[in-house]
Structure 1
C-alpha cells in the first residue's frame, strides 16, 4: 500500500494480491494449454510477450489517444492544476500528469503503469457540470486509485483478457480460412488446432473478465471511501456522482459507446445496467445506490466524530 495520507484499505490490498495470483496461475495455464493444443511455442511467446509489452508500457498513451485527451500545463489550466496540487499536498503523494479530454461525456479517469507514467484526466463535460468542490472530490477519487496502485494492477490484469480476446477472434477467422485440410505428418488439421485455441482462449477470457470485474467494483468503493476521508466532504462526492449519472442519460448513445471500452477506469461507467441484474453483477462499478449509501454513512460518521 502506498505511503500517503489516504486511508489504508487492507481489503483492497488483499483483493489485488489474490487477483494477481489467480491471474498468474491462469496465465501460466494459458501458455501451457496453447502449446499443448498445437500452437507453435514461438508464436505463443511472440503474441503473449508482444501484448504484455504494449499493454504495460503504452497503456497511458493508448487511453489518451482513444479519448482524444491531451496533457495540459499549469499555464493552460491553472484552476485544474491548483486542485491537483492541493490534493497531492494533502495526500503527501507525487503529482501525476494532468490531462483534459474534449468530450461532453462527463467523466474522469486515471491510467498508467507506474506513478511516473500516471496521468489523471478529466473531460470538458465533467468540468462544465461540476463546481470546484465537486470536481475536487472526483479528482481525489482518481488520485486514490494512483496512491493505492490499483491503476497499475488493473492495467496488468487487463492484459490477459486482451490476449485471449485477440486469439478468439484470430482463431475463428483462421479456422474459417483453413477449412478441413489435414495437418502435416498426419497431425490435426489446422482448423482443428485453431478451434482448440479458440476454446482455450474463450475460457481464459471469461476467467480473467470475472476476476477483474470483481476487483474493479471493490476498488471503486475503496476510492470513494479514500476520497471522502481525504477531503472530509463525502457529500460533495455524492453530489458529483448524482449529477454525472443523471446527466449521462442525456448524452447520445453513440458518444457513450465510443468511450465504453474505458469503463473500468472511469469515475462512473458510460453505459451500465440499472438495478440488480446479470449486467450489474458483471459491471465494472458497483450500483450508484450502493456508492451513495456508503458516502452517506461516512458523512454520518464524520459528523459524529466532529
Structure 2
C-alpha cells in the first residue's frame, strides 16, 4: 500500500492497516444489515451511508482545510516552507502535495486527502513560529511519511464508520426525546425501534473507535520513524515533539476542544494536560514512547549531537 518512494516500506504498518480496514468492513456490513432489518428500507440506509461515505472520502481535504480555516499557499507566499517540502519530496522521490497554512496559535501540522495525488500538507502559523528549520523539517518529513504510506487515505475511510454510527446514534437519541410522548401501540413500536437503532449504532461506534485509535497510535510511531530516517536527524524531530507538546499544554482549553476532532490527523494531539479518558484512548502514543523510539533511532544512525 506504499507508493514507490525512498521512504522505506513499513510492512507492519501495511498489515495493521489492512487488518483494521478488514475488521471495520465486517463491522460495517453487520451494521448495514442490522439497520436494514430494523428500518426495513434498503434505499434509505444505502442513500444515507453511501452519501456520507462519498462526501467524507471525496471532499476530506476540503473539509479539513475549511474546518481549520486554512488556505493553500503558493511558493511566492511561503518560499521557506515550499523550499523545505521541495527538498524533502526530492529526497523521498515522491510527488509534492499541495501546501496550506492555517493562521492559528495552536502549533500543529496534518496531512489530508483522498489520494497521494490529491494530498495536502498543512501547518499552522503557531508551529512555524516556534520551530527552527531542522525541527520544522522533521515535522514535515513525518507528515510526508503519512502521505507516502497512504495511511491518511486509510484513516479517512476507516473513520467513516464511526462518523456514520455516531450520527445515527445521536439522531435516534433526539428522536426519543422529541417523539417519546406517544403512547399508542404504533408509537410504542416506533420508540422500541429507535432504541434498537441507537443501541446498535452505539456498539458499532465503540468498536470502530477502539480499532481506529489502535491503528492511529501505531501509524504515528511509524511516521516518526520514517520521517527521522529520511532527514537523518531524529534529535530534531524529538526536539520539535517536546516543544509542540509543551506549548499545546498552554493553549486555552476552549481552543483545544475546537481542534480535538482532528487529533487523529495532527502531528501532536490537541489535549489538555493531565489524565483523562481522552488521554487513555488517545489517537497518539505517549510523548515518552515517541521520544524513546527517536532516541534509539538516533543511536542506531550514529547521529552526532
Give yes or no for contact 1:70–1:100 (8 Å, CA) kept in 2: yes
Is 2:15 the partner of 1:14?
yes
Match of 1:59 in 2: 60
Secondary structure of the 1:271 match is coil
Match of 2:32 in 1: 31
Match of 2:96 in 1: 95
Match of 1:47 in 2: 48
Task: Provide Cα deviations, 1:93-151, integer angstroms capped at 9, x if missing partner.
Answer: 00000000000000000011111221000000000000111100000000000000000
Measured in 2, the distance between the counterparts of 1:255 and 1:78 equals 29
Match of 1:252 in 2: 252
> Superposition RMSD on alpha carbons, in Å?
1.7
Structure 1 runs (4+) deviating above 6 angstroms are: none
Unaligned runs of 5+ in 2: none
Secondary structure of the 1:5 match is coil
Measured in 2, the distance between the counterparts of 1:161 and 1:183 equals 33
CA 1:252–1:282 in 2, change beyond 3 Å: closer, same or farther? same
Match of 2:282 in 1: 283
Q: What TM-score results when the alignment is normalised by the length of structure 1? A: 0.95
1:143-162 matched pairs, under 5 angstroms = 143-162=144-163
Match of 1:270 in 2: 270
Measured in 2, the distance between the counterparts of 1:176 and 1:135 equals 49
Give yes or no for contact 2:57–2:156 (8 Å, CA) kept in 1: yes
Task: Provide Cα deviations, 1:273-301, integer angstroms capped at 9, x if missing partner.
Answer: 656x7544411000000000000000001
Match of 1:73 in 2: 74
Q: What TM-score results when the alignment is normalised by the length of structure 2? A: 0.95
